[in-house]
Chain A
Amino acid sequence: MTTVAEAATFDDASGGGTLKFPETRPLRLDSGAALAPLEVAYKTYGRLNTEKSNAILVCHALTGDQHAASRHPMTGKPGWWDRVIGPGLPLDPERYFIICSNVIGGCMGSTGPASIDPATGLTYALSFPVITIADMVRAQAMLIDALGIDSLFAVIGGSMGGMQVLQWAADFPEKLFSAVCIGAAARHSAQNIAFHEVGRQAIMADPDWRSGAYEQAGVRPEKGLAVARMAAHITYLSEAALQRKFGRELQRDGLSWGFDADFQVESYLRHQGTSFVDRFDANSYLYITRALDYFDLAASHGGVLAQAFARARHVRFCVLSFSSDWLYSTAESRNIVRALSAAGCRASFVEIETDKGHDAFFLDEPQLDTTLRGFFASAANLRGL
């Protein structure tokens, strides 16, 4: 740990920054490749107490980033989880030291396909190695070590963040006190993979993708990435939520008798697509969706999911799902809970009743807040916080 701390340099220790691991500290990847030098961009909220016992790692979703509760530097929008992280909120920076890092493969400062490959001096693009959820978690563990934290009070995340939480429990249970997995699954289903493949094909079909080398060509596959986002965005909402928000409402009076965005839902999706390309890298999208598709926690533990949690009996788990989430349904969460029970872990499970679909985990859901509050209050009590 000391070697890492010495080897690493911070540019802003208080509120985060970018941790740089030198060539001598490569990140070993599941694919067999290694990533060096490695950079991990992160944000922190609150202060680490003297016992270093109040650290919470927040894991972000596919298109999220480290700006969980701070203004996004590119869009100027509030943090993606500022409903949950903040003074008086379930994750209170006055009580906890909250860390959120950009996943490797991402495009907000951590090493990813848009980073410069030291071997060529050009962006990695498709020469970036394929990464997995376990690789992302390994990089987070390096960050936590470098911050001098032996044990996390909690690791928490929704969607892909929830998968990282499960991976943490499998790979580094000794570093965990509690774990909260929201709207996730222990493996990607055929349907999950299918939707991702549509997104990837949309990107690759864009002539500006240039087999991934768009950066050198000075172009960006914006159309493809926007379509990928539009398709994915539908999976984040429920049919009921779409109907409630848009119904068959028109943009203007009357139909255009053409292919403009007549319906409000079309206009909304187009907006989702075009605003996404401003902040996200197309190759990152390919790599991270691939990491999700490769995720199957049971398969990497002899086909028995409970086996993944065999060393995590001391960890207090909380698994949450949303009733209208069809991307990672309640059945998937129940599957996780079943495995936790079988492994002898202490697990709580709540299905939150909502029509907001998968995205409910960062929307206004009072029951999510009460559940998190209760879980963290009692866990903090046990931890002596």
Chain B
Amino acid sequence: MREDFKEILRLVRPGARVLDVGCADGSLLELLIREKGVDGQGLELSPAGVSACLARGLAVVQGDADHDLDDFPSRAFDYAILSDTLQSMRDPKHVLSELLRIAGRAVVSLPNFGHWRVRLSLLFRGRMPETPALPEPWWSTPNIHLCTLADFTDLCRALDLRIDACAALSAGRPARPIAPERALENWRSEQALFLLSRRVEPERGAVQRDLFGEPLTTPAVASRPRRRTSDTRAARARPG
């Protein structure tokens, strides 16, 4: 299973209403429905993807985040998921804002342009980076709005969004919870997954949980990076 899918699966509340924006063939939605009993809906641009979703019995609307999020009513979902796509949107700021109008929480993953490989590629080779997270050459990449972790956290602040949790992702390795504001993480993280919500009064009695289902003591940012030990791994296995 893809590492980002594992993370998303861990953080989505059972039985929640989920919109997967750019749901491709619907494999994540299917996983969420099977494992978490969510009420899922997909948004997908490619006809092949839409057909595949329908064949899986998923509800899917053909469209893309740039144009069609406006059609969904406010607060129609508990979670809106946008995986590795924000950087290819025409208006990422609007899309991000729309995700959190439609859903109470957004799960957004994106490549980090501040990663050391990217920086070194520019610094020493003087060329646009081609890395595992950004494999396409500049002239064919769909990524037109790349950003670093620092840029993204700035945008969240500007939109008055709260980062409930953040984890660094890299291919084949388990996710690592991080504090995205830390300069070091901006060097180290190849990709990051954010759990976002609007900065509003937290629901009374509701316990804020991080990506790993653990109660958050400070509501602002995910807890300090933790060392992976067998203890924390066991704690993570608890259902969120």
The residues of A with any CB-CB pair to B shorter than 8 Å are 316, 318, 334, 337-338, 341-342, 344, 346-353, 367, 370-371, 373-375, 377-379, 381-382
Select which of B51, B54, B57, B61 is within 8 A of A381 by beta carbon: B57
Instruction: List 10 extra interface pairs beyond A337-B61, A348-B54, A378-B54, CB under 8 A.
Output: A337-B71, A346-B59, A349-B60, A350-B47, A367-B51, A371-B51, A371-B54, A377-B55, A378-B58, A382-B57
Expressed in whole angstroms, the minimum distance between the Cβ of B204 and any Cβ of chain A is 25
Specify which of B41, B63, B71 lies most central, judged by the most chain A CB atoms within 10 Å of its CB: B71
Which residues on A sit within 8 Å (CB–CB) of B50? 348, 350, 371
State whether B41 touches A346 (Cβ < 8 A).
yes
20 contacts between A and B (CB under 8 A): A318-B54, A337-B71, A342-B76, A344-B76, A346-B59, A348-B60, A348-B61, A349-B63, A350-B51, A350-B54, A350-B62, A352-B47, A367-B51, A370-B55, A373-B55, A374-B52, A375-B54, A377-B55, A378-B56, A378-B57
How long is the Cα–Cα vector from A282 to B107 in the complex, in angstroms? 58
B73 at the interface (CB under 8 A from A): yes
**Are A347 and B59 touching (Cβ within 8 A)?**
yes
Cβ A349 vs Cβ B54 within 8 A:
no
**Interface on B for A, CB 8 Å cutoff?**
41, 47, 50-63, 68, 71-73, 76
Q: Which residues of A contact B76 (CB under 8 A)?
A: 341-342, 344
Q: Is the CB of A374 within 8 A of B61?
A: no
Q: Are B62 and A349 in contact (CB under 8 A)?
A: yes
Q: How far is the CB of A383 from chain B (nearest CB, A)?
A: 11
A341-B76, A351-B62 known; A334 and B71 CB under 8 Å? yes
Give the nearest-CB partner of B74 in chain A: A342
A339: min CB distance to chain B, Å: 10
Contact B73 A341 (CB under 8 A): yes
With A341-B73, A342-B73 in contact, is A374–B62 under 8 Å at CB?
no
**Contact flag A374-B59 (CB < 8 Å), given A334-B71, A346-B41, A367-B47:** no
When distances are taken between beta carbons in the complex, the residues of chain A under 8 Å from B63 are 349
Report Cα–Cα, A352/B47, bound state, in Å: 8
Assuming the contacts A348-B60, A382-B57, asked whether A374 and B72 have C-beta atoms less than 8 A apart, the reply is no
CB pair B57–A341 under 8 Å, yes or no, is: no
Could you count the A-B residue pairs with CB atoms below 8 Å apart for me: how many are there? 62
Q: How far is the CA of A240 from the CA of B73 in the complex (A)?
A: 36
Is the CB–CB distance between A374 and B51 below 8 Å?
yes
**Bound: A350/B51 CA distance, A:** 8
Nearest Cβ on chain A to B125's Cβ, whole angstroms: 41
Shortest CB-to-CB span from A351 to chain B, Å, is 6
CA separation between A374 and B57, bound complex, in Å? 7
CA distance A370 to B53 in the complex (A): 11
- Using A337-B71, A344-B76 as known contacts, say yes or no to A349 and B55 having CB atoms under 8 A apart: no
- Chain B residues with CB below 8 A from A318, complex form: 54
Q: Kindly state the separation between the CA atoms of A353 and B56 in the bound complex, as whole angstroms.
A: 21
Q: How far is the CB of A56 from chain B (nearest CB, A)?
A: 17
Look across to chain B and name the residue whose beta carbon is closest to the beta carbon of A373. Answer: B55
Q: How far does the alpha carbon of A6 sit from the alpha carbon of B73 in the complex, in Å?
A: 47
| CB of B129, distance to nearest CB on chain A (Å) | 35
- Smallest Cβ-Cβ distance to A333: which chain B residue: B62
Of the candidates A349, A373, A379, which one forms a contact with B57 in the assembled complex, judged by CB atoms under 8 Å apart? Answer: A379
Would you give the shortest CB distance from B174 to chain A, in whole angstroms? 33
In Å, the complex CA distance between A269 and B68 comes to: 38
Give me the 9 closest cross-chain CB pairs, A-B, nearest first. Answer: A378-B57, A374-B55, A374-B54, A349-B61, A338-B71, A342-B73, A346-B59, A350-B62, A370-B51
CA distance A338 to B59 in the complex (A): 14
Query: A348 CA to B73 CA in the complex, in Å?
Result: 16
Q: Which of B53, B59, B63 has the most CB of A within 10 A?
A: B59
- Choose among A318, A338, A341, A352 the residue with the greatest number of B CB atoms under 10 Å from its CB: A341
Chain A's closest residue to B19 (CB) is: A341
Shortest CB-to-CB span from B208 to chain A, Å, is 27
Cα distance A344–B68 in the bound complex, in angstroms: 17
Report the minimal beta-carbon distance from A340 to chain B, rounded to whole angstroms. 9
Q: Which residue of A lies closest to B67 (CB)?
A: A334
Tell me the minimal C-beta distance from B91 to chain A in angstroms: 19
